[in-house]
Amino acid sequence: MAVREAVAMACRVRLRPVLMTSLATIIGLLPMALKLGAGSEAYAPLARAILGGLSVSVALTVFLVPAAYVLVYGERGPGFGRFRLRRSH
């Protein structure tokens, strides 16, 4: 199986679990981040920081990691992609 096909299949398989767990956490933190609950004023900055970090990590996981993998490993394996390994003699 080619690298691009393997990455595409892995993205299709892993997209739903990654989004489900991340969105559940994000939706669960929204009331705290928006200061909707009693006593949530003290925890709102923490909730906002967690929301921002989790949102960025989801975007990187879904888009950047598969693209970087295809760039590095290319079609023939490590060292033969767009970024070739240089061998010193």
| Residues 25 and 54 sit within 8 Å (Cβ to Cβ) | yes
Q: What is the pTM of this model?
A: 0.70
- Measured CA to CA, the distance from residue 7 to residue 35 in angstroms comes to 40
pLDDT for residue 87: 59
Q: Where are the alpha helices (DSSP H) in 1-89?
A: 3-33, 44-59, 65-73
pLDDT tens-digit map of 9-43: 988 899 999 999 999 999 999 988 998 877 778 88
Please answer whether residues 77 and 71 qualify as being in contact, where contact means their C-beta atoms are separated by less than 8 angstroms.
Answer: no
Angstrom distance (rounded) from CA 6 to CA 75: 11
